Amino acid sequence: MITMQFDPPLVAILRGLQPEDAVAVGTCLFEAGFRLLEVPLNRSGAIEAIRVLTNIAPSDALVGGGTMLSRADVDAVYAAGGRMFIAPNCDREVIAHAVDRGMLAVPGVATPTEALAALAAGAHALKIFPAEVIGLAGLKAIRTILPPATKLWPVGGVTPELLASWTEAGATGFGIGSNLYTPGLEIAVIGQRARNFVSAWHAIQER
């Protein structure tokens, strides 16, 4: 059974993570407080990196794949131990397949039509992508036509300083990519960036 009780609900998007770096990067992020790690499949080594991360993940953490576009992608990530499905698009068949496999399903949406279709297919949360284009006003508008409990996670251009504004607009979590991780970045820098995001999230919750 997949739970939505992740604290903080921040997804580390580890595009380009190589298997040989997965232990150091994953350990750094887990120690900083991240509990959701995504390795996009459109770079080499992703499946093996997911397998490594699942082996070191704390019991309250979830590892999965990003840019998952097909049923085959879902099956490959599941076989590697991943239990989170994240996509940039809304494909109802693929979403339903991920849900059937017991994965946390977070498809990408940019319009009310896509958002409602994704929820109908069983999505647990919605990746608002690209967030920079949709903007705060766009998120507010989409929020008004969705069930109140819908989880909305903007992705794209998210920084610690912007978390509060997005949260006020209706965001309940975030996906964080290059502002957190890029291949070759020093572990100390990744750790500091991660702590900045976690601290910013907790500061919002304490208001």
Active site residues: 38, 127
Structure-token pair, residue 110:
């940019």
- The identity of residue 4, as a single letter, is M
**Widest distance between CA atoms in the chain:** 44
Give the ranges where the chain is alpha helix by DSSP (H).
19-32, 46-56, 71-79, 92-100, 112-120, 131-143, 163-169, 187-205
Query: What does the chain come to in residues?
Result: 207
Starting at the edge strand that comes first in sequence, how are the strands of the sheet with 152-154 ordered?
A: 108-109, 126-128, 152-154
Give the ranges where 10-45 is alpha helix by DSSP (H).
19-32
